[in-house]
Structures are given as structure tokens and as C-alpha cells.
Amino acid sequence: MRLARPVPKLALAALLAVPLLAVPIAADAHRPWLEPSSTVLSGTDAWVSFDAGVSTDPFIRDHAPMQLGGLVVTAPDGSHPAVENQARGRFRSVFDVHLNQPGTWRITVMNEGFFGSWRQNGEQRRFRGTREAFEREVPANAEGLRATAMIGRIETFATLGRPTTENLQPTGRGLELVPVTHPNDLTAGAESRFRLVLDGAPAAGVDVTVIPGGTRYRERPNEIRARTAADGSFAVTLPEPGLYWLGASVRDDKSGIPNVMRNASYNATLEVLP
């Protein structure tokens, strides 16, 4: 790293420490994932248990539990029932969702925050927190300001009975997946279609990575790659039954604050049944 002028040793250490402390997800191949116990259920009422973690290999519990402060469950009728049995383990968080109405349930973890570093009175300062706190504590024209706003959405879906789509519409904030093929109606070997939207508008030219679960038990990651078209659409063929991790991210300057970049990311867990 090249520094414009010498800084005290301590300040330099603080500066170098920033990327490590400030990027809970998205960077450094630490992938956030939700792992549902089931995604297709029958009967009048069912339970789904979820593991939520962050690790290099999706669904492999070997790094960190996911923070669930931004967990929102959306029932088919649009209501937001509370989760049950939430707990945090060493490598993964857990929670249960009681599917007590038919249709598709959307399970979302939103991660939002600002982080940045700047110099003030010759000292290196850094910040991590909410937008409100950022606007309050970080001077608008801070010297050497390097700041990023993060908005990340981590999702999966579970359906009791017949798949529905009412609650799968985009909210218009950050990067989101709009199903063309229903996420609980995927077929091995067939083309599945989706659209990515950024703030509700088509997200064109975005790279999408899909990784089949179970990397531990094979030699190659077998990543599947796609890129969104002008209308934000992309297609992937999921070759065989199993869980799949999907990830995409966009970096732009639409943080809403001058000189602050934005990282919008989207992750989903998709299950393909035999």
C-alpha cells in the first residue's frame, strides 16, 4: 500500500487493520449462507430449521456464525412471523420457522452498514456503523476519506404446498433476485431463469456465481458462472439435485453520500430435488 506521507506506526497499523475489521462479509471469499432443512413441504403445517453461517465453502461450518440482527421472515400473506429457537453456535447460527400457512416463505437476512477510514489532526480514524451515525461522526470533507456503504441481502425460500410469488417481488433496495423460474420449483439439468435488479431496476452485466454444496467431498469447486443481460436476466443449469449457493455483487457510487462508494450484494440458497 502506498501512503501519501509518513504516518505514525500506530496509525499505520490501524489503517491496515481496517479491511479486516470492517468487512464482515462479501470480501475475502467468506461467503454468507443459509442452509434450510427442507424447501419443499406438504401438509397443512410444517417446520423448517435453518443454519446460517459465513465460510469459504458454502454450507461448511468452519468459520463464523451469521449475525441475525437483520433476519426477516416473510410469510406467503406478507406478514412477518417471529422465528423460534434462535441460537448462535461457534460456527453457525440456527433458527426455526413454523410454516403455518400454505405458499412460499421468504427468509431474508439484511446486512447494512457504513465503514470507512480518514485522517484527522494527523491521526488515523475509522468508523463502522449505521448511516445515521456515519453522517453524524464522519466529517463530510474528511481528509483521505475512504468509505463504503454495504447493503447485502442473503435469502432462501421454502414452500408449503403450492408455490406462490406474491412475496417474492423486489423491495427496490439494493441487489435482489426476481424469480422467473420459481426458486422452489427447480429441476436438475433444466435451465433456471432469474433476474437481478438493483434498486428495483434491471442490473445488467453483473457476474453471478453459483457453487454446488458439498465441496468437501469432491476435487473441484465446479462453479457455474453467468452474466446478466440488459434486462438483468440470466440463466443457469443446475446439473444435479442438491443445495446451491448463488452470489452476485455490484459496486457503485449510489451510497447517497458524496465520496462514499456502495457495495450491494445478493446471496441465495437454492435447492434442487431429484
Partner 1 sequence: MRSAPLAFALPTLTIAGLALAPAHAVQARELTVTVEIPRLDVAEYHRPYVAIWLERPDQSTAANLAVWYDVAKRNKEGEQWLKDLRQWWRRGGRELQMPVDGVSGATRAPGRQTLTVGGDALARLPAGQYNLVVEAAREGGGREVVRVPVQWPAAGAVATGSAQGSSELGAVGVEVKP
Binding interface with partner 1 (CB under 8 A): 28-29, 56-57, 207, 209, 219-221
Comparing CB distances to partner 1, the nearer of 81 and 242 is: 242
Angle (CA) 54 56 61, round 5° = 55
Comparing CB distances to partner 1, the nearer of 9 and 218 is: 218
* CB of residue 124 to partner 1, shortest distance in Å: 21
Comparing CB distances to partner 1, the nearer of 1 and 4 is: 1
* CB of residue 215 to partner 1, shortest distance in Å: 8
Enter the C-alpha cell of residue 241: 439435485
* CB of residue 34 to partner 1, shortest distance in Å: 19
| Positions of E strands within 30-137 | 31-36, 40-41, 46-55, 64-65, 71-74, 84-88, 93-99, 103-120, 123-129
* CB of residue 55 to partner 1, shortest distance in Å: 10
What φ, ψ does residue 133 adopt, rounded to 5°?
A: -65, -35
Give, as one character, the DSSP assignment of residue 270.
E
Question: What's the first-to-final CA gap in the chain, in angstroms?
Answer: 50
Comparing CB distances to partner 1, the nearer of 84 and 223 is: 223
Comparing CB distances to partner 1, the nearer of 193 and 225 is: 225
SS3 content of the chain, % helix, strand, coil (to 5): 10, 50, 40
Comparing CB distances to partner 1, the nearer of 80 and 225 is: 225
* CB of residue 251 to partner 1, shortest distance in Å: 13
* CB of residue 250 to partner 1, shortest distance in Å: 14
**Sequence-distant (≥ 6) Cβ neighbours of residue 76 within 8 angstroms:** 101, 102, 103, 104, 105, 164, 166, 167
